[in-house]
């Protein structure tokens, strides 16, 4: 550290999806210097690169913060595990690689309902297309030639084909492109993969820039606080293995730690709810009550059944020869089933409370799966997740202490809005009915979760309280817009502090109807344009 420069034009805190985009884009200008800070380590290792090893990436503590929430009152006081990426690429290096933009109406709502001027479907689509290289879809919805490689999962498991048939028998239409004209329907997921390997944000945006002399990347460097002088952000205090250091930002400090770490860093730096900061002895630089508020997430519930054959992905003596062949093929040629994402079947459907947009997302896995892959499942089966896309519940984040090493207190307040339980009950009902479809008649053995079909809504609600988990999509804790709780303006500039921006999923005014990685990359792409032209 002592031999590296300590002054840069831009200092970026967090090398997740947004940070990688910003570092790659801003360093294209050879006349500026960029420093990217990451608390985790490098993104090396087969568990990150290999799609079929997804469960091991999700559970590897070296690359996962492994956060835990506060007890959730409406979920039997359970503390919920919240995996988040702790490596270059952030959560894009450990997630299921799903490329999902959300509904186009979501972006129009950001602009019209929350005052995020300039953020609408047209500007979002332009940014999505600009960075995309889609192997299966083209204009008008998709781009070719961009750094982020996107493809449809292929080949899918035979059980995934049966899932499609089960959906058709429920009159759920086929949808070849959930990122196109409409969302509703069933089909195959598009994923961020290339050549049989994960294509994380680090792969797509950061790695091509690493040889640039004007880009410095520091791993194992924890951002402790933003240095603020006379109302202006002037640098970043970081902690590495050899001590605490200060980096100076001549132009801007950009916070890209994600929906949890970005508001934490702001509060540690004196930016946030004044009374809360004073409780921890932190001098107030800007009283912004919205920092840490407005926390939103997709709550998920799974249904699961065992199957007769060994055609599903799984570990068993019957499948051992096939597994050994797949491992050998992958090790020697980097081809075969180990290059295929195990989380395959998609679906968007409507609950009994839905409006014009589908409000339930389905995720089919041709395997027995456990929450967050924390239980190693043996045998064969299938799992169908269902999540509520537009929850009304709002949570918050608060500091545990003024020590940057203390994880922030996470209270998503799941199901605090009563309507959310009604939709979640529909989620489990629909997922169970699909798994019980006669399309699976020759394969399905026993329903495991829930323990039996045809449960009453009251019993289904009890299952939700006992088993629902996060689908890893926290957002909106540094929301963009013009309202009372808005933290940043439509150019991602922090209100009340000069030369400071937040660029990541935390600035979403409202959670989108789908996975959040692609929208985060879109946000960073547009923000990079704004920063470069400032």
Token pair for 480: 């963009």
- Give CA–CA dist 422/446, Å, rounded: 26
DSSP E strand stretches across 219-359 = 222-229, 232-240, 243-255, 271-272, 286-287, 299-307, 345-349
Q: How far is CA 469 from the centre of its chain?
A: 14
Angle at 76 between CA 70 and CA 80, to 5 degrees: 40
Q: What is the DSSP string of 237-277?
A: EEEETTEEEEEEEEEEEEE--HHHHHHHHHHHTTEE-HHHH
Whether 276 sits among the annotated catalytic residues: the reply is no
Instruction: Say how many C-beta atoms besides its own lie within 10 A of residue 325's C-beta.
Output: 12
Record the tokens describing residue 34, joined without a space. Answer: 């960029």
Q: Per the structure block, which two tokens stand in for 128?
A: 């999505």
Q: Is 3 helix (H, G, I), strand (E, B) or coil?
A: coil
Q: For residues 114 and 331, give the distance between their C-alpha atoms in angstroms, rounded to a whole number.
A: 50
Whether 517 contacts 192, CB under 8 Å: yes
Give the largest CA-CA distance in the chain.
71
Q: Which residues contact 176 (CB under 8 A, 6 or more apart)?
A: 187
Residues 346 and 152: their CA atoms lie apart, in Å, by: 11
Catalytic residues: 473
């Amino acid at each position: 550290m002592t031999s590296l420069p300590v002054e840069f034009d831009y200092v970026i805190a967090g090398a997740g999806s947004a940070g990688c985009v910003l570092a790659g884009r801003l360093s294209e200008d050879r006349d500026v210097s960029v420093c990217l800070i990451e608390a985790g380590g490098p993104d090396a290792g087969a568990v990150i690169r290999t799609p079929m090893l997804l469960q091991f990436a999700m559970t590897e503590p070296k690359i996962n913060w492994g956060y835990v929430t506060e007890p959730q009152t409406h979920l039997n006081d359970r503390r919920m595990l919240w995996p988040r990426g702790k490596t270059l690429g952030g959560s894009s290096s450990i997630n299921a690689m799903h490329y999902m933009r959300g509904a186009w109406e979501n972006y129009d709502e950001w602009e019209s309902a929350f005052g995020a001027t300039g953020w609408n479907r047209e500007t979002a689509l332009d940014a999505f297309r600009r960075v995309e290289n889609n192997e299966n879809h083209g204009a008008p919805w998709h781009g070719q030639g961009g750094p982020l490689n996107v493809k449809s999962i292929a080949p899918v498991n035979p059980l995934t084909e049966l899932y499609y048939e089960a959906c058709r028998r429920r009159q759920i239409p086929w949808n070849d492109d959930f990122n196109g004209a409409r969302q509703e329907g069933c089909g195959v997921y598009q994923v961020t993969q290339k050549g049989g390997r994960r294509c994380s944000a680090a792969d797509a945006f950061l790695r091509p820039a690493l040889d640039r002399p004007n880009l410095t990347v520091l791993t194992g460097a924890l951002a402790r606080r933003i240095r603020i002088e006379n109302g202006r952000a002037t640098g970043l205090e970081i902690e590495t293995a050899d001590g605490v250091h200060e980096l100076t930002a001549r132009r801007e400090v950009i916070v890209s730690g994600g929906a949890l770490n970005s508001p934490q860093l702001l509060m540690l730096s004196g930016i946030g709810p004044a009374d809360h900061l004073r409780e921890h002895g932190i001098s107030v630089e800007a009283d912004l009550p919205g920092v840490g508020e407005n926390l939103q997430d997709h709550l998920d519930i799974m249904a699961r059944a065992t199957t007769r054959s060994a055609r599903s992905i799984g570990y068993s003596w019957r499948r051992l020869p096939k597994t050994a062949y797949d491992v050998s093929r992958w090790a020697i040629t980097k081809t075969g089933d180990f290059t295929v994402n195990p989380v395959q079947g998609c679906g968007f459907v409507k609950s009994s409370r839905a409006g014009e947009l589908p409000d339930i997302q389905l995720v089919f896995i041709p395997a027995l799966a456990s929450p967050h892959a924390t239980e190693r499942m043996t045998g064969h089966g299938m799992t169908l997740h269902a999540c509520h896309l537009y929850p009304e519940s709002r949570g918050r984040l608060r500091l545990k202490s003024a020590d940057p090493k203390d994880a922030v207190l996470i209270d998503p307040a799941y199901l605090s809005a009563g309507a959310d339980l009604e939709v979640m009950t529909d989620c489990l009902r629909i997922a169970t009915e699909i798994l019980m479809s006669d399309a699976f008649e020759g394969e399905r053995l026993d329903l495991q979760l829930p323990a039996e079909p045809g449960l009453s809504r009251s019993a289904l609600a009890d299952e939700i309280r006992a088993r629902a988990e996060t689908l890893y999509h926290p957002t909106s804790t540094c929301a963009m817009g013009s309202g009372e709780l808005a933290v940043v303006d439509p150019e991602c500039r922090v209100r009340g502090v000069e030369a400071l921006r937040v660029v990541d999923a935390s600035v979403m005014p409202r959670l989108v109807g789908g996975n959040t990685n692609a929208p985060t990359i879109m946000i960073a792409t547009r923000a990079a344009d704004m920063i470069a032209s400032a």
